[in-house]
């Protein structure tokens, strides 16, 4: 199939000839094209699986075959990702999955500007690297983080709730809009109490806050993280130790909030001080509280729904940005839970 010659400043060119179910894309930079296709063509393989197309690579050319909708969506994914690579952005499998989902959500048959995905998608700018929304729910979440003083992010594991919360906190800290980042999490996952764990306070809560530590080191230089923790600019504050405090000029993140009781959640939310932001994340489907206790997260999101200045981003299995298998695992559990609920009503 013939390919139109490149025009000045044009990185890729779809063929306009042939059947509607076949498109040839040509990329002008072999190095960028190699990054786009992925090691051993893994990115193309992901696009094939998710969109039901065949992507045949020859050098810097890709032939897409399949249904008209699938080919159109695959073209958009490749175009948008290639534009991002040309801007110097790294490409991870999560970026590919996010671009696929966005292309599906936008529909199929209308004129498409490759730069539209980049300009419409929210981004958090950090010194180490930019963080972009990969799904529509993440985009909504980032917008809420910028707009509201208190934001709830609820949904299954792997949707980026905690990671984006930490990224937003780091961006405010780097711009000196806040003086501190305070990280909190209830320590109830395995039924232990802090006093039975060895070591000092930080060593006691480290196992519970490891996901937040990982996000901090992913988004900030390790030396800056350690220095900020030594000066309490980044503070680890177990939920049980938050009572009586007023948190001013800070970003406060409460992770795994589904494991708070109603009283704990009320106590935490009323710690909000002047020029502070609170971000509360959790998965309502993974409550580890004793039977009969109401999750503080579920109650808070219900009571505070529609209150001015409070945002709430809801994630689903469709927003999982880890390994693609995680999304299928979450969906399977959700299906089983729905079946049990139907059975209990009958």
pLDDT in tens, 33-91: 899 998 888 889 989 988 889 999 988 889 999 988 888 889 988 988 898 888 777 78
Query: What's the rounded Cα separation, in Å, for the pair 166 and 181?
Result: 9
Q: Are strands 12-14 and 22-27 parallel, antiparallel or unpaired?
A: antiparallel
Q: Which domains does the chain have, with CATH numbers?
A: 12-120 (3.30.1370.10), 131-345 (3.40.50.300)
Give the model confidence (pLDDT) of 252-304 as tens digits. 999 999 999 999 999 999 999 999 999 999 999 888 888 888 999 999 999 99
Q: By the 8 A CB rule, do 11 and 85 touch? A: no
Give the model confidence (pLDDT) of 158-172 as tens digits. 888 999 999 999 999
Query: What's CA 247's distance to the chain center, in Å?
Result: 26
Residue 13 has pLDDT above 70, yes or no: no
- Residues with Cβ < 8 Å from 13, sequence gap 6 or more? 3, 4, 5, 6, 7, 25, 26
Paired strand residues for 152? 280, 312
Residue 115 tokens read as 């730069």
Average pLDDT over residues 96-114: 63
The whole-model pTM stands at 0.69
Paired strand residues for 153? 281, 313
Q: By the 8 A CB rule, do 217 and 128 touch? A: no
Query: Count of alpha carbons within 13 Å of 97, Cβ hemisphere only?
Result: 16
For residue 206, the model assigns a pLDDT of 63
């Amino acid at each position: 199939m013939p390919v139109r010659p490149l025009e000045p400043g044009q990185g890729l060119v779809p063929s306009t000839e042939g059947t509607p179910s076949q498109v040839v894309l040509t990329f002008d930079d072999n190095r960028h094209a190699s990054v786009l296709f992925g090691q051993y063509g893994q990115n193309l393989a992901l696009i094939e699986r998710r969109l039901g197309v065949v992507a045949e690579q020859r050098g810097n050319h890709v032939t897409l075959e399949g249904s008209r909708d699938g080919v159109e969506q695959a073209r958009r994914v490749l175009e948008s990702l290639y534009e991002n690579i040309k801007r110097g952005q790294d490409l991870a499998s999560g970026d590919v999955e996010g671009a696929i989902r966005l292309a599906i959500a936008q529909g199929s048959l209308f004129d498409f500007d490759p730069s539209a995905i980049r300009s419409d998608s929210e981004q958090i700018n950090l010194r180490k690297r930019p963080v972009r929304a990969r799904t529509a729910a993440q985009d909504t979440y980032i917008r809420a983080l910028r707009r509201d003083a208190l934001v709830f992010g609820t949904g299954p594991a792997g949707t980026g709730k905690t990671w984006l919360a930490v990224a937003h906190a780091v961006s405010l800290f780097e711009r000196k809009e806040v003086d501190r980042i305070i990280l909190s999490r209830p320590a109830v996952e395995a039924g232990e109490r802090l006093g039975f764990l060895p070591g000092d306070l930080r060593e006691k809560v480290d196992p519970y806050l490891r996901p937040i530590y990982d996000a901090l080191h992913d988004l900030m230089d390790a030396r800056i993280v350690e220095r900020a923790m030594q000066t309490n600019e980044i503070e680890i504050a177990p939920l049980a130790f938050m009572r009586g405090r007023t948190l001013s000029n800070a970003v406060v993140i409460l992770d795994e909030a589904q494991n708070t009781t109603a009283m704990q959640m009320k106590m935490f939310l009323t710690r909000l001080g002047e020029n502070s932001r609170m971000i509360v994340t959790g998965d309502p489907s993974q409550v580890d509280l004793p039977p009969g206790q109401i999750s503080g997260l579920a109650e808070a999101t219900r009571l505070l729904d529609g209150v001015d200045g409070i945002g709430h981003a809801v994630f689903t299995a469709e927003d999982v940005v880890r390994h693609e298998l995680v999304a299928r695992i979450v969906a399977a559990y959700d299906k089983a839970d729905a079946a049990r609920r139907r059975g209990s009503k009958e």
